[in-house]
Structure 1
Amino acid sequence: MTYCVAIAVDAGLVFCSDSRTNAGIDQVSTYSKMYRFGVEGQRQFVIMSAGNLGTTQATISRIKRDIKERAATSLLTVESVSEAAEYLGGISREEQDKHASRGSGFEASFIIGGQIAGKKHRIMMVYPEGNHITSSHDTPYLQIGESKYGKPILDRILTRDLELDTCALCALVSMDSTMRSNLSVGPPIEVLVYRTDTLTLDAPLRFDEDSEFLREVKRSWDQRLKEAFRQMPRFAWAGQWDSQARLAAVNDDDRD
């Protein structure tokens, strides 16, 4: 299984992905699911992948080949992030169609994000069908893979005006929540940050299973969740409040 999340705020973009690939209980491997493309000062793209490993690797190989062979359409010639997502989706569909006669199971999805000089930085999610969507002001993130466990923290914390360090930490907590509930998602964890209008990528960060920082994030998050839970209103009080509310409603009906 896979989990990747991309965050788009005013200050820039954050990308976070795991590196665990499973083809059965006894076939667990490590593959990076994050790829970088671009020209310093002109354009930068980051792609993250989920789904069939053969399809995703073939798609990325085709993208690299188009750049190397100076194809008419490539990540070096597209004029927007949306056009880049359209190009990526087309290649993905072609790779999936090659195996269509062999049945299902070759689907892949992607997140692509970045910026071209003079254009706005954006993130896009590319579906297996090849079409794509982008983030919004109210939902400044996109997920692929095992998305449900890491979603609550993103919904509660992320806003467009946050600093990138806060967004990166939020992505790591989202990843930790996913790893806690799904053992098929796991380290190494990769994090990459892009700062608006710089047209250069920060050095990627990689957190292995023995990373002390990753362990500290987990310990701190677990501890603070438990502390917050202990401060919640007592259940008995909630029941008493409900009883009082029902009694008040009955009295109102009697007066009517």
Structure 2
Amino acid sequence: MTYCCAMRLDAGLVFLSDSRTNAGVDQVGTARKMTVYENPGDRVMVLMSAGNLSISQSIRQVIAEEAEATGGGIWTAKTIYDAALIIGRAIRTVRERDAASLREFGIDFNVSLIFGGQIAGERCRLFQMYSAGNFIEAHNENTYFQIGEAKYGKPIIDRIITPQTPLDEAAKCALISMDSTLRSNISVGLPLDLLVYENNDLAVSQFVQIDENNQYFKMIRSSWGQQLKRVFGNIADPVWNAAPEVSDNVLSTLNLVSQPVRVTPPPALARHDAPPGPMQTLAQQSGNNLQP
């Protein structure tokens, strides 16, 4: 498995990918998931992949072969959208060739891609691509994409990232998102590839491969956990069974008694001791409501 995320911001683009391919008990595999297509002054395009590694490698090979055969392909596409169409066509080519054979061995055609960049004369654009070869584009309402093990790193991005977020702040957020994923899922692992692209540069100027010795990422990993614990400790504990005016932290109030869904024990095992405190069974509560 893997985790990749990309952000389309007013200032440019941020791409981040891990390199874990499998994490068995006795075998850990790595392969880089980010591919950069760069012709300085004309275009910068970035492709990241998650899913079956053999499928994503085949897709990249089909893209390269088309470019060689036509003398252009992705290198002469007039827009990033046209380039995305070429990648979608490559996905379908590999699917038509390999999907049935893979299915015979119980393997699904499983691949997802993030593709984005800028071609001279147009704005930065970002797409998420699916195994059918179709895709969607990032807009201000949804300014980032994730593929792979996305759930662990999603909350921080949802809380922080807007189109106006500066590039360095977005890169920090992406790295925190990745750290949260690394913390919770062994199928995602170092090293990481981070590329930050500023509007109209039309060349890669900020790229780093991050391993366990990277100074900034080590700081992220230690300080983020410490800061979370500090913030958690500063949030008050809940107050139970109190009037709302007693505190701002009242979780349950005396005038609104909640009840769980209870399963009644067999009659032979049932005890008739009244539950402590304000708790009542639903039957008791109903009976009390019927009394004059």
Which TM-score applies when normalising by structure 2? 0.79
Q: 2:96 is matched with which residue?
A: 97
- Cα deviation 1:31-60 (Å, max 9, x = unaligned): 110001131111110000111111111111
Q: 1:253 is matched with which residue?
A: none
Q: 2:81 is matched with which residue?
A: 82
Question: Does residue 146 of structure 1 match 2:149?
Answer: yes
Identify which range, 14-23 or 183-192, moves more after superposition.
Answer: 14-23
SS of structure 2 residue aligned to 1:209: coil
Match for 2:35: what amino acid? Y
SS of structure 1 residue aligned to 2:232: helix
Percent of aligned pairs with the same residue? Answer: 41
Q: Show structure 2 runs of 5+ residues with no match.
A: 240-246, 258-292
- Cα deviation 1:56-97 (Å, max 9, x = unaligned): 111112222333x25166111222222212211210121122
Displacement of 1:231 after TM fit?
Answer: 1.4
1:191 is aligned, of 179, 190, 194, to 194
Q: State the structure with bigger RCO (CA 8 A, min sep 6), 1 or 2.
A: 1
The 5 Å alignment of 1:58-73 reads 58-67=58-67, 69=68, 71=70
Q: 1:129 is matched with which residue?
A: 132
Match for 1:74: what amino acid? G
Displacement of 1:190 after TM fit?
Answer: 0.8
Contact kept? 1:38, 1:75, Cα under 8 Å? no
Q: 1:13 is matched with which residue?
A: 13
Q: Show structure 1 runs of 5+ residues with no match.
A: 248-256
SS of structure 2 residue aligned to 1:240: coil
Identify which range, 232-241 or 175-184, moves more after superposition.
Answer: 232-241
Displacement of 1:139 after TM fit?
Answer: 2.3
Which TM-score applies when normalising by structure 1? 0.90
Match for 1:58: what amino acid? S
SS of structure 1 residue aligned to 2:85: helix
Q: 1:115 is matched with which residue?
A: 118
Contact kept? 1:158, 1:167, Cα under 8 Å? yes
Match for 1:91: what amino acid? A
The 5 Å alignment of 1:161-180 reads 161-180=164-183
Contact kept? 1:96, 1:107, Cα under 8 Å? no
Runs of 4+ displaced beyond 6 Å: none
Match for 2:213: what amino acid? D
Normalized per residue, which structure has more helix?
1
**How many pairs were matched up?**
246
